[in-house]
Amino acid sequence: MWCGPVISHGRKCKSPQASAIKRWLGVGLLLLAISVQGCMIGPDYKTPPAPVAKNWPSASDSGVDTSRQEYIDWWNVFNDPTMVKLIKLAYQQNLTLRTAGVRVLEARAQLGMAIGELYPQQQTLTASVSYNRLPISLPYNIVNSTYWSDVFGAQAGWELDVWGQIRRGIQSADDAFLASVADYDSALVSLTGDVAATYVKIRTTETQLEVARQNVEKEELTVQIVKIRHQGGVATGRDVFQAENVLGATEATIPQLTAQLEQQKNSLSVLLGMPPGTIDELLRGNSKIPSAPEKAAIGIPADLLRRRPDIRKAELQAAAQCAQIGVAKADLLPSFSLTGIVGTLSSNVNQHSLTDVFTHASMFYQVGPQFQWNILNYGQITNNVRLQDAKYQELLVNYQNTVLKAQQEVADGMSTFLQSKQAVIYLKESVTAAQGALRIAIIQYQQGIADFTTVLTAEQNLYTAENNLAIASGQVPLGLIAAYRAMGGGWQIREGNGFVPRETAHEMEDRTNWGTLLTPDLLNPRAPGLPSPSDTGPLVRPPEW
């Protein structure tokens, strides 16, 4: 066997095949090193500037505390055990939240698929046995035109990430995964706010119903009195009709408020993941409108950027799209791949045997690099880069708009809270005055100083004032709930828990091997381009094979 000049220093002579394998192995290692250390084409994401106010418009109000807060369980400030119980049930049972949790698992699986692109993208094992017949009209110079053959082989193809296209894809998938987590948190913030607000509306409507029923009792008594006076010739028939008219108008509000109350209870049932009409037992007990604290802690606007989930989601979506620009740009450059085939082939022709497939003599292989460059793409790749860049710019503007709207929602909630508190003060005075006016009107009517219309007007004014007081009393906690919801608090209660309930996780595990993805470990470790918890450099989330 010729193997070229003998190499000194005690090295053994090598076959041409071994030398070729060594050369290709060296080429492969070189390309792999280029892939790992290569550049990352495309722009690196940077958080865009966002319009953030230094202070809230209501910061100078005596009812506002601007100290830093986390609002992990903001609903406890209302000191209402029923509200706390309902929010806990909603977190456990709400179906919309479960859907958001499953979407987190979807995004995590897609991230695992993206990470898998770092490894050889094509790997196949093949084996076959076939019975073959050659046409006898051709001069093959063999005794028999039929024979058996068998093949065992393996094939692999590895596109090297020279320009960072795959790593950009991983960045995009990881940001999309974290955006799905932020979307779950946002759904949880909305859920806690919706449950608390619906509960307050139920208690407000119940208070309005109680006010209406109390006024109906008063007006029924008035009707009875005026009928007696009419029978005695003291009151006119017109007085009777007017009294019955006012009574009927007040009575009509009861079925309207009852329907409103039933609809609010149905909404709460759905939020709790329960069929309508099944929550009356949960609402038993104190039926008063929850009282808000005298002072509301709202921090500063800049706190929204780190706490509010929908802002995090908007930024992560922009970051994911930024990476897509690099993915698109990489198509403008050549791609490099390593491909290899190795196997054995044998037949029973010319006294050979199918068992020869297990011998070295039957071995074949092919290995080498590949180069591909889409030169004439007719502007398709260039315009795809432009498309991805335009989408990125759109998401940057959306992020800025999300920050702006978040501040508006906090300001609106605080305005409702503070102004409703002031309205309650005035309406309490209004109710007291209306009660006094009715009392005097009745006395003057009995003394013949005032006509009956004065009494009826006083009754209507009292009902209106008491009903308005009930509505304003409900607006106080509703305004504060809107502010707390806008500040992004409440999602922290999911920390340490899975994104789907245990019963859902068990159901999914019965169908599919989910590894650790159905546990809180889903978020660890951190992915490429993100700081690791130990600050020792970025870690890659495993693809969970």
Residues 519 and 380 in one domain: yes
The enclosing domain of 140 has a CATH number of 2.20.200.10
**How, if at all, do strands 146-160 and 296-297 pair?**
unpaired
pLDDT digits (tens, 9 = 90+) for 230-258: 888 888 899 899 999 999 999 999 999 99
pLDDT of residue 538: 40
SS (H, E, C) 302-358: HHHHHHCHHHHHHHHHHHHHHHHHHHHHHCCCCEEEEEEEEEEEEECHHHCCHHHHH
In which residue are the tokens 């085939």 written? 341
**Has residue 529 got a pLDDT over 60?**
no
Last residue of a domain, one of 351, 372, 393: 372
Closest CA to 478 of 172, 196, 180: 196
**Has residue 127 got a pLDDT over 60?**
yes
Residues 150 and 168 in one domain: no
Least confident of 178-192, 417-431, 514-528: 514-528
pLDDT digits (tens, 9 = 90+) for 146-192: 888 889 899 888 888 888 888 899 899 989 999 999 999 999 999 99
Mean pLDDT of 90-94: 95
Q: pTM to 2 decimals?
A: 0.84
The enclosing domain of 69 has a CATH number of 1.20.1600.10
Count of C-beta atoms within a 10 Å radius of residue 432: 11
Residues 238 and 320 in one domain: yes
Q: Contact at 8 Å (CB) between 365 and 154?
A: no
Closest CA to 211 of 439, 475, 459, 455: 459
Confidence band, pLDDT 50/70/90 cuts, at residue 297: confident
Q: Does residue 69 sit within a domain?
A: yes
Q: Does residue 455 sit within a domain?
A: yes
For 370-412, give the DSSP string: EEE-----TTHHHHHHHHHHHHHHHHHHHHHHHHHHHHHHHHH
Residues 400 and 458 in one domain: yes
**Has residue 95 got a pLDDT over 80?**
yes
Q: Does residue 400 sit within a domain?
A: yes
Residues 410 and 497 in one domain: yes
Confidence band, pLDDT 50/70/90 cuts, at residue 115: confident
Q: Does residue 539 sit within a domain?
A: no
**How, if at all, do strands 335-347 and 363-372 pair?**
antiparallel
pLDDT of residue 430: 96
Closest CA to 279 of 168, 202, 166, 380: 202
Residues 105 and 214 in one domain: yes
Q: Contact at 8 Å (CB) between 221 and 442?
A: no
Confidence band, pLDDT 50/70/90 cuts, at residue 319: very high
Alpha carbon of 231 to those of 223, 224, 225, 445: distances in Å?
Answer: 12, 11, 10, 16
Q: Which tokens in the block code for residue 289?
A: 């409108």
pLDDT digits (tens, 9 = 90+) for 444-457: 988 888 888 999 99
Alpha carbon of 517 to those of 105, 190, 303, 528, 541: distances in Å?
Answer: 7, 25, 31, 18, 11
pLDDT digits (tens, 9 = 90+) for 31-40: 454 445 457 8
Least confident of 144-148, 354-358, 525-529: 525-529
Q: Contact at 8 Å (CB) between 421 and 476?
A: yes
**Has residue 3 got a pLDDT over 70?**
no
Mean pLDDT of 269-275: 95
Q: What does residue 534 show for φ and ψ, rounded to 5 degrees?
A: -90, 0
Residues 481 and 497 in one domain: yes
Tally the domains of the chain: 2
Question: What is the distance of C-alpha 114 from the center of its chain?
Answer: 21
pLDDT of residue 143: 61
pLDDT of residue 147: 81
Q: Does residue 529 sit within a domain?
A: no
Q: Does residue 6 sit within a domain?
A: no
Instruction: Kindly state the DSSP code that residue 507 receives in the 8-state scheme.
Output: H
Mean pLDDT of 465-492: 93
Residues 64 and 202 in one domain: yes
pLDDT of residue 376: 82
Residues 204 and 257 in one domain: yes
Q: Does residue 435 sit within a domain?
A: yes
Q: Does residue 533 sit within a domain?
A: no
Q: Which residue type, as a one-letter code, is found at position 392?
A: Y
Q: Which residue type, as a one-letter code, is found at position 544?
A: E
> Taking phi first (over 0 means left), then psi (-120 to 50 degrees means alpha), and beta for anything else, what does residue 4 get?
left
Residues 128 and 248 in one domain: no
Residues 486 and 341 in one domain: no
Residues 38 and 129 in one domain: yes
pLDDT of residue 400: 94
Least confident of 119-128, 191-200, 416-425: 119-128
Range of the domain at 38: 17-46+121-160+335-372
